[in-house]
A and B are shown apart, each in its own frame.
Chain A
Amino acid sequence: MADSPELPQAHASLHQLRTTLQSVLFGQEHLIDLVLTGLLARGHLLLEGLPGLGKTELVKGLSKALGLEAKRIQFTPDLLPGDITGNPMLQETPQGRRFVFQPGPVFANLVLADEINRASPKTQSALLEAMQERRVTVMGESHPLPEPFFVLATQNPIELEGTYPLPEAQLDRFLFKLEVRATTAETLEKIVLNREIGVEPVVPAVMNAESFGALLQLTRSIFMPQPVASFIARLVHATQPGEPHATGVKHGASPRAALALAAGAKAKAVLEGRPNASYEDVRAIAPAVLRHRLILDYGAKIEGLTPDLVVQRLIENIPAQDKPLPTTLAAAKV
């Protein structure tokens, strides 16, 4: 159960993991927290940021700390689906010449899909299918992916030429879309003092696949109070076009977004050692969950409205308690 003694232990392990990752990636505490939250929610993450901000380092550090197998795929326009999923190779076997499936790089616990938007849509869809189904089908034969399986994709926001932006329907498969922001001068100073080009940092393994699996199981058992579920439902519903706080939104978030919010809130609760999800957890992960699921109309884009601004507006205006107060009373900020 959620209030079992495993929870403090899990909290301690996750704290250690967080500290370890912070020693690899300086000044990205919030990003690390969100990545860990996404992983605990069994979700795939899309990281958007400029090159050199530590995205690959983060994935590498994460794989080492978690004791998971990690692989990196650099997406290019000429990358074929088989280069990801793997190809049947004609081989000499005791039974004669046969096609034997050679697993591609997607067969790993942690896959870093670098610059995913540079691959052709066909290749992208191969990866997205693997993400969704957690198995690969080649020549009519399905090959399950290892458990746990996470994809951490990155995309570069400034290179538009020769890129294939992910379709909205496929973006929906990512649990979180995270923005990797540039570091501050103090952080850069810390990096200069502690890191060296070409030398990889030593990351100790904090847990193994089994203990991480237990954490994932624990996350699923976190209690979701009915008022929090109601809040999630109202928040997602409020993104639909025509709703009062969704002006400028062309397409709102799908039910999958509500599920993502619920899973993310539970993961955040585990990260904080709590047996229940809360409104604060939902608010904390809402931008990461909703920003790639809201499609704005052209008018809103021209006016400078961004999905983040819409999400912010929704968070401010959708209360945890939907019952209104009488006009003789006003909600006070405590």
Chain B
Amino acid sequence: MNQEEIRQQWERTIKRLARWVNLGWWLERWLPVLMAVCIVGGLTWFALRTLARPEVAWMNATIAGLVVIAMVIAWIAARRRFESTSAARVRLEDAWQLRSRLSAASEGVGEWPSFPEQQPALPITWQWQRPVSVLGFCIAILCLGAWMPVPARQADKAHVIEKPSALKQVEQWVEELRKEEAVNPQNLAEVEEKMEELLRRPNEQWYEHASLEAADHLRDQTGKDLQELGAQLEQTQGSLSTLAELGSHLSEEAKSGLSKQLENQLKGLRSGAMQTSGDLAEQLKNMEPKACNGMSKEQMQKLAERLKQNAEALRKALANAPQFSFKECKSCNKPGEGEGDKPGQGAANRGRGDADLTVNEKETNLNTQATDKLASMIDPERVTPGDLIGLQDARPTAKEDFTGPQSGGSLQSTGDGGAAVEKATLVPAERAVLKRFFK
């Protein structure tokens, strides 16, 4: 190995030593700044979590940015204390007992000493306790700021109060129907106005019993109206399709019956709480059932197709509320129109449900003994006079052992003005309590 190679080897070692020392100086300057950044970052994070919902990515980016800035500042501050190669050379030659040969050789006096085959360790040792403890402290304080539980009361304040689910559902329907243009916008605006009226109340009152009941009622009413509209659209579409398909084959009597049915359906569509939108509504409004006779098959099919599309749009909008499915629309069925072959059972909210009387060996079972509870959730324990809690069809039972009028007894005390007519009697337990109180 020639002198030049030896020199390069020594200078590499000297530079390595200088770099380590400089890293130490940089750490010395950086650690206090890092600690300050982490304390401020942790406290800020905690404060933001207490007051609002912080953006985690934003916080991470801010803290990382501050740490990087701290690194740069520390480097600038530490630079003036950085160890030069000549200083590192002195440190190295003193520690390795090189008898100042490196300093002399660098000045051109004497030869570079031969580089040891087994290179000794650099004459510095790291004191890891301080950097590790500072880094641990920083991580701990950031973790505390990020994950320390926030007091529940303050956390609640930070949350946004969401609308009741019923209103959200109605809102979704309105949005969907407006997009599909399936319902008259005026009807939708009315619904929205009602919703706004409910939401105008303070947020804290949204979940009160009365508000929830009102929201549920709005949802039920709107859902029911839409359900009825959908069912009527489907029925009208069915009638129109039948008329288009079989119009030429039907007898005059059947055709007349079908026209009458169509007339009823159109009337229902015009008088319903919800109406179709746009030119379809206009067309249905001006349409006379008798005019159908003048319509071609294609025209009727086209109209039926439009009605079907409208019904589909309604079905799609109500998809998140299975209770308002068109098939479940019991109120939409007229007697004899429901599914199955049994007579209607009637109910408090949809009439008597009479079935056509037939002449059979067995009498028609009208199931009149069955009671039907009210659909409304009236607490039977808190009913007030006048509340209807149930209906029962029953044959009056005549009292056969009539014995004639009987005396009704006599009053023990007729009572004077202001006198107590009912004397309270205490049970033994109450009496014991009173006795203990006055003792």
Contact = CB atoms under 8 A, between A and B. Distances in A.
A276 B103 contact: yes
B94 A328 contact: no
B97 interface: yes
Interface string B80-95: 0101001100110111
B100 interface: yes
A181 B336 CA distance: 137
Interface string A250-282: 000000000000000000000010111111110
Nearest to B122: A332
A299 B306 CA distance: 118
A259 B24 CA distance: 36
A328 B126 contact: yes
A329 B94 contact: no
Contacts of A331: 91, 95, 123-125
Interface in A316-334: 319-321, 323, 325-334
Contacts of B28: 326-328
Chain B interface category by residue count: 35 or more
A279 B100 contact: yes
Contact of B123 (A226, A280, A334): A334
A333 B96 CA distance: 9
A265 to B, nearest CB: 9
A325 B95 CA distance: 14
B94 A279 contact: yes
B25 interface: yes
Q: Is the interface of A mostly helix, strand, loop or mixed?
A: loop
Contacts of A319: 94
A330 B125 contact: yes
Interface string A1-22: 1110000000000000000000
Contacts of B109: 1-3, 223, 225, 275-276
A327 to B, nearest CB: 6
Nearest to B102: A225
Contact of B127 (A274, A279, A321, A329): A329
Contacts of B97: 280, 334
Contact of B87 (A2, A281, A321): A321
B67 interface: no
B104 A275 contact: yes
A227 interface: yes
A131 B131 CA distance: 59
7 contacts: A223-B104, A223-B107, A223-B109, A276-B99, A276-B101, A332-B123, A334-B120
Interface of B: 20-21, 24-25, 27-28, 81, 83, 86-87, 90-91, 93-101, 103-104, 107, 109-111, 120-128, 130-131
